[in-house]
Structure 1
């Protein structure tokens, strides 16, 4: 995509094998994708498909074995140290588990203030920014003096989102950010992310195993299967009329209340799995 904020070209990631006789495992086989400012690209696939590895490579948490990652035109494939820390201003992350991603011994005010202090904000400026962040994610102003354990799962994820927004990033990697929440809370957090994007023009690389979640927030969708993109199209196309058997199987994975319909879906998934095997061979 021309003038992409994030551009990934031919990305390969190989993990070393464990034990004396284990062979290295290639998690990504040459993935290419891009994300523009203000856009959400959804990455969807089952566990082990490679979607989280892409996010971790963008964040510098895994080292690519091939390919190139550029952000705003700069090559960040192998940057480390001070350059990687500087990138944190522009690239942030929201993890799956909102509790383990927050320091339980710090108040919400300290959690949100930490990235601002690192950037050199004064106490007054940091306090004003924290108040604005809490309002932006729908939390009361008195949250600053409370600890993460005093909040529900959905509220803790709002804190995590506020922390990611604190340095005013241009891209947020959302790694299964609602999978640990109940369905009603998921919807509220997803709506919040959409509202934030409309107000800030931040881009999301949104990672999930759930196509219904991906449909709610994404402009485009890339489907990952065994380290390769098997389908990439506008979200409305991928989530309603997918072309690849694997994508259709993902759609059928969502449970339904009717036992007879559920049985038909299982049989269709089995047929599609056999079709995938035929394509692979």
Structure 2
């Protein structure tokens, strides 16, 4: 917690509150029930706080981020952002929300327009919101400096940069309008380990400098532990455990959280082998319990 922005604990008002949220997708076919991707989701994020949302592929964590952004259908529940109910916000309202609610996607290779220079990519959200070309150019230079990229990046194309540099560009684009909350959807999973560490430190520094909040989505509990004040664990479309980052990683209560923790890599080969064995034993015990209905 010492490495994180402690301003988050100073405010009692929530920036984002998600209450009783369900997301369902229709399935084609005669009288087929819709597929429920999320069930009764309840989370909140305070100003300057990071909520880590962790779970394996298919757990529903990306769907939750998409629902908050208005990209997934909400069948029940509410999403309140900065005091306003945005559950069923229309296109005009979503455009206005773009100033305060932004996203960084998983893949820096596909999230940037390959035919545009970096300066144009960063200026686009500014000009869409009505800023003059001169004001946009000034802001773009500030953004490049903020994410640690050289000024000559303005005239270069995304393909001329490494994966970590491209993700810095994506982060700069998300920061362009000084948002209050950024949904970070697996933003370091496509990067190698050394680059991951650099980009995570960049996220932390930006939060300290600006007070921005993050919903940080990841399948890696170790990554989430590094950056989050609090953690919510998702399993089969439900949140099975929530708590402080310290509590979730030191004393996990739910068996699924325990499995995620055992799956996190450690540098010691012997400890890593023991973790692998412990995880297999825990998984086998849980499968036996589910099949028999009798606690293992």
- TM class, shorter-length: over 0.9
2:123 paired residue among 113, 138, 153: 113
- Structure 2 match to 1:236: 246
Cα distance, 1:123 vs structure 2: 1.4
CA distance in 1, matches of 2:44, 2:283: 29
Cα distance, 1:243 vs structure 2: 1.4
> Is 2:18 the counterpart of 1:8?
yes
- Please say if residues 246 and 276 of structure 1, whose CA atoms lie closer than 8 Å, have aligned partners that are also in contact: no
TM-score by length of 2: 0.90
CA distance in 1, matches of 2:119, 2:238: 41
- Please say if residues 99 and 178 of structure 2, whose CA atoms lie closer than 8 Å, have aligned partners that are also in contact: yes
1:133 paired residue among 114, 135, 143: 143
> Is 2:61 the counterpart of 1:58?
no
Alignment of 1:1-281 (within 5 A): 2-18=12-28, 23-256=33-266, 261-277=271-287, 278=289, 281=293
| Higher mean C-alpha deviation, range 72-81 or range 249-258 | 249-258
Cα distance, 1:263 vs structure 2: 4.2
Cα distance, 1:227 vs structure 2: 1.0
TM-score by length of 1: 0.95
- Please say if residues 22 and 75 of structure 2, whose CA atoms lie closer than 8 Å, have aligned partners that are also in contact: yes
C-alpha deviations, 1:198-241, integer Å up to 9, x for none?
Answer: 00000000000001110111000000011111111110111222
- Please say if residues 25 and 73 of structure 2, whose CA atoms lie closer than 8 Å, have aligned partners that are also in contact: no
Query: What's the secondary structure of 1:239's corresponding residue?
Result: helix
- The verdict on how the C-alpha distance between 1:106 and 1:249 changes in structure 2, with shifts beyond 3 A counting, is same
CA distance in 1, matches of 2:213, 2:85: 18
Cα distance, 1:24 vs structure 2: 2.1
- The verdict on how the C-alpha distance between 1:259 and 1:22 changes in structure 2, with shifts beyond 3 A counting, is farther
Cα distance, 1:255 vs structure 2: 3.7
CA distance in 2, matches of 1:228, 1:2: 25
Unaligned runs of 5+ in 2: 1-10
C-alpha deviations, 1:158-213, integer Å up to 9, x for none?
Answer: 00000000011000000000000000000000000000000000000000000111
